[in-house]
Amino acid sequence: MRILLVHNFYGSAAPSGENQVFEAERSLLQARGHQVETFTRHSDEIRAQGAWGAVKGALATPWNPWMTWAVRRVVDRFKPDVVHAHNTFPLISPGIFHAIGDSAARVLTLHNYRVYCPAGIPMRAGNVCTDCLDSRSVWPAIQHGCYRGSRIATLPLAFGVGLRRFMGTWSRQVDGFIALSEFQRQRMADAGLPLNKVHVKPNFYPGMPAVLPWSKRQPYVIFAGRLTAEKGVVSLLRAWAAWGAGAPELRMVGDGDLRPELERLAQGLTVRFLGQLPAAEAQAQIAGACLQVLPSECFEGFPMVVREAFAFGTPAAVTNLGPLPSIVQAGESGLVFEPGNPASLLQVVRTAWETPGLLERLGQGARREFETKYTEAANYAQLMTIYEEAMEVSRAAR
C-alpha cells in the first residue's frame, strides 16, 4: 500500500503526544513494507517570527491555498492509495482534503476535538464545556474567547470550523476518521461527524518492554504531563497536602505555566519536580513507579502516558471523566476517582496505597490490557482495516 502521511508538528518547546503518534505510525507502516511518504510542517516556522508569525498562522488556519497546492502536487507525483492526516493546525489546513479529491482515500485522526471545538479542548473557565459541540455552532466560542482567552485569537479558528461545516468537508471530503476511544467517537458523531465513517483505534506502545519486578520498584507515585489547569495538577497537590505525613513521594514529570504556583503549593510536601525529561527518561520514571496518577479535568483523547503505564505494568489512577474510566478499568488495571475533587483522589489513592498487594495486582492487570489491546500487532491490524474501509468509501463515491 502507498500511504502519504500528513502532519503539522507542534512547537518543539512543547512536546506533543500527536507528534509521537505520527512518528510511531510511520515507523509501524514502514516496518511492514508499505511505501510511505510524508508531508510535514512545523509550528516553529511561525513561532520564530513573533507577532508576524502569529498573524500568518491565523490566516493559514481556515484555508491555506499554498499547502493545498503543495499536497496536491505530492499526491499527483506519489499516487498514494491513502492520505492519512494527523494534524493540519495551524499551517496546513483541512483544505487539503478538497484538493486531494477522489485521487486517494482520505483519513483523519481525531487527536482532539478541534474539528468542532475552536479551542481544541472542550473546556472553559476550568470546567468541561461542550456548548459548540452540542449546539453545532461556533458562537459560544466567539462569545467567550475560548482559544487562549481571546476573541480575536478565537475568530480564525471559529471561522474555519464554520467554513468546513458549510462546505461539507467532514461529511463529504474525508473517507474515514480515527477516534481514540468509543467515548470520543460518540461525542464527535453527536456534533456532526458521520458515525459510519468514524472508527476507534487507540494509541499503541511500540515493542514489548520488560516489566520491572515489583520488588525492585521504588515507593513513589508519578504524574507525567503538562503542568496546566486542565490536567488537574492543583487538585493533585491539594490531595497530597491533605494526606500529610506518610504520603509517598510524588514525582512530577513535565513543565507548564502552573509550575511556579505548584512549587509554592508543594512546599513542605513529599513532592519532586523533575521538569521536562527526554522521552526515554520519562518512561523510565513511569516504569519504576508503583502508581501513575492522571487527574485530568478535561476530555482526554487517549493519553500517551496511560499506554506507557500499561506497557510497563504500572497501574493508573484516573478521573471519572470522558474516555478515561473506559480505558482504565477500576479494580482491574487501575483506579478511578472524581475529577476536581482532592478528597476523592486522596481517598481512592490512599486506600489502594495502604492495601497490601493491591497495586501489584492492578499492575499485572494493566500489562494484560497492553498485551491484549495496545501492541504494535493489534494496532496495525486495526489501522489496515480502517484504511481498507476508507478506500471502499472513496471508490464508491467516484
* Pair (321, 363) in one structural domain: yes
pLDDT in tens, 139-172: 999 999 999 889 999 999 999 999 999 999 999 9
The C-alpha cell at 398 is 467516484
Give bridge partners of residue 6 from the DSSP assignment. Answer: 39, 85
Q: Is residue 151 part of a domain?
A: yes
Phi-psi region of 232 (alpha: psi -120 to 50; beta: other; left: phi over 0): left
Whole-number pLDDT of residue 364? 98
Q: Smallest Cα–Cα separation from 240: which of 285, 293, 305, 300?
A: 293
Query: The CATH number of the domain where 85 resides is what?
Result: 3.40.50.2000
148 shares its domain with 229: no
27, part of any domain: yes
Residue 66 falls inside a structural domain: yes
The verdict on 178 and 219 lying in the same domain is no
Backbone angles phi, psi at 79, to 5 degrees: 55, 60
pLDDT of residue 13: 66
Residues 177 and 56 in one domain: yes
Same domain, 367 and 233: yes
On whether both 47 and 113 belong to a single domain, the answer is yes
* Grid cell for residue 59: 490566516
Identify whether the C-beta of residue 387 lies closer than 8 Å to the C-beta of residue 324.
no
- Would you state the cell numbers that stand for residue 351, as one nine-digit string? 486506600
* Residue 47, in any domain of the structure: yes
Same domain, 171 and 244: no
The maximal CA–CA distance of the chain, rounded, in angstroms, is: 67
How many domains does the structure of the chain reveal? 2
Q: Does some domain include residue 56?
A: yes
**Residue 162 has what pLDDT?**
95
What confidence tens digit (pLDDT) does each residue in 185-194 have? 999 999 999 9
- Does 99 share its domain with 232? no
Residue 109 backbone dihedrals phi, psi, to 5 degrees: -85, 130
In a domain, 46, yes or no: yes
Q: Please indicate, yes or no, whether residues 368 and 381 belong to a single structural domain of this protein.
A: no
Domain match, 171 and 26 both:
yes
Return the pLDDT at 95.
Answer: 95
Range of the domain at 244: 214-373
Same-domain pairing of 150 and 49: yes
Residues 99 and 82 in one domain: yes
pTM (2 d.p.): 0.94
Whether residue 209 lies inside any domain: the answer is: no
Regions of the chain short of the pLDDT cut 50? none
